[in-house]
Amino acid sequence: MTAAIFCKRTDPECRVKIYERMDRVGKKLLVTGNGQCNLSNIYISLEKYHGGPSDFVMQTFSVFGYQATIDFFAEIGVLTKTDQSGRIYPYSFQASSVLDALRFECERLGVQTVLGCEVTDLRRRNDGFQFTGAGRQYYADRIILCGGGRSSAQCGSNGSCYSLLRQTGHTITELFPAIVQVCAKNTNVARQLKGIKLNATASVLVNGQRLRQETGEVLFTDYGLSGPPILQLSRIISTHMSNGNTVEITLNLLPEYRIEQVKAMLVKRAAAISGRCMDQFFGGLINKRVGQVVVKGCNIPSQSHAGSLTAQDMNALCATLQNFSFVCRGTRGFANAQVTAGGAQLDQFIPATMESRSMGGLYCCGELLDVDGDCGGYNLQWAWSSGACAGKACALSFKQRF
């Protein structure tokens, strides 16, 4: 929709049509940001993006960055609001208002929409293109491919555009799910804690080496772990698991305290509540059920008294509180992922115009390209920026032909 809008705005003479496989356009937008649509972030920077060379992304943002996005949305009636962590939302906090605004702007400009039309075949024909959509043949002078990745196919993006890219001689890099929940091997522990949310620092250890950590609300589920820090770490987990490495998530359940402070606190606590059974020992400090699992994990009998804890028990409790460990079994896959990592290889496209280097007149934007961002509005920002650039460049190239 952004590509279509910028194409029409650049050259109102262009006839622009969106071919959409679903029964309505922009379905995925409705589920973004838990229905609130986290549409960008003020902290756009290189390290938030992964995939192909990051200068491709930055060159595109230098043409259409987050301020251009905010201005664009203001023009179509969507006022935005930034939260404390830099995430930008529509002032209404309704994803549907973002989709409506895009739809109305498409309508105003005369962009046509063909629904229920999955494009399944795309080839060069003379100076333009021939393609098949829902069994019918169509022709176009220019094509902008923007079919998204493979994640959350129920919202429309089923990965079918990768075949169209391959068919036109482009390379697709390895695809894997990102921003996705993580499955643990020791599900019996996660299952006992199912539904509990707590603030923790989650670290990813690959073959024992700590690679990245994120702090926030972790959710225990029957399959493993979820919550913002886990989603944020899932990309690195996916990558290393696909390389056959052993990947582990450890949770620091008392992230504000250093290990010696935790030790001192436990010793004091054991003295103060020495008569209390160990299954009640952590009540008031961490979630009671989590505390009971920690005690059990340290092989301390639940009915023993706090006063009988040995120095060895104390060390084991401290270590577990700071490294509550889950060995990863995998992720919840594309069906549950928010984005697809990997995609159309960037060096086959021109940054800031998004045009194919080998097939002039073919453009590609959004998640379909080998670009994925962290959680926090970075993926939609990439979709708006690359879409706007592709739309503009496509209209200009068409204009210049005459």
Ligand X SMILES: Cc1cc2nc3c(=O)[nH]c(=O)nc-3n(C[C@H](O)[C@H](O)[C@H](O)COP(=O)(O)OP(=O)(O)OC[C@H]3O[C@@H](n4cnc5c(N)ncnc54)[C@H](O)[C@@H]3O)c2cc1C
- Which positions lie near ligand X, rule CB under 6 A? 19-22, 27-28, 31-33, 37-38, 118-119, 146-148, 151-152, 155-158, 160-161, 338-339, 366-368, 377-380, 383
28-52: buried (b, 16+ CB within 10 Å) or exposed (e) per residue? bbeebbeebbbbbbeebeeebbbbb
Q: What radius of gyration, in Å, describes the C-alpha atoms of the chain?
A: 25
In the complex, minimum distance from the CB of residue 49 to ligand X, in angstroms, rounded to a whole number: 12
In sequence order, the β-bridge partners of residue 183 are 224, 330
Structure tokens, 162: 């990768």
What is the full DSSP assignment across 77-88? T--EEE-TTSEE
Measure the CA–CA gap between 355 and 394, rounded to whole angstroms: 8
Closest distance between ligand X and the C-beta of residue 24, in Å?
A: 8
Q: Are 378 and 51 in contact (CB under 8 A)?
A: no
CA–CA separation, 234 vs 289, rounded Å? Answer: 26
- Return the number of the residue (10 or 379) whose C-beta is nearest ligand X: 379
Nearest Cα residue to 392 out of 357, 363, 349: 363
Q: Supply the minimum distance, in Å, between the C-beta of residue 10 and ligand X.
A: 19
Tell the smallest beta-carbon distance from residue 118 to ligand X (Å): 4
CB of 307 to ligand X, least distance (A): 49
75 within 8 A of 109, measured Cβ to Cβ: no
**Which residue's CB is nearer to ligand X, number 281 or number 382?**
382
Cβ-based nearer residue to ligand X, 100 or 118? 118
Token output for 18? 């969106």
CB of 146 to ligand X, least distance (A): 5
Among residues 249, 250, 22, the alpha carbon closest in space to that of 134 is found at 22
Q: Backbone dihedral region of 376: left (phi > 0), alpha (psi from -120 to 50 degrees) or beta?
A: left
- Specify the residue, 90 or 291, whose C-beta has the smaller distance to ligand X: 90
Q: Which two tokens stand for residue 284?
A: 């008031």
> By C-beta, is 118 or 141 nearer to ligand X?
118
Of residues 224 and 376, the one with the C-beta less far from ligand X: 376
Closer residue to ligand X in complex, CB, 178/251: 178
Rounded CA-CA distance 328/223 in Å is 10
Smallest distance, ligand X to C-beta of residue 210, A:
27
Q: Quick one: which of 216, 235, 236 has its CA closest to 177?
A: 235
CB closer to ligand X, 8 vs 322: 8
Least distance CB 112 / ligand X (angstroms): 14
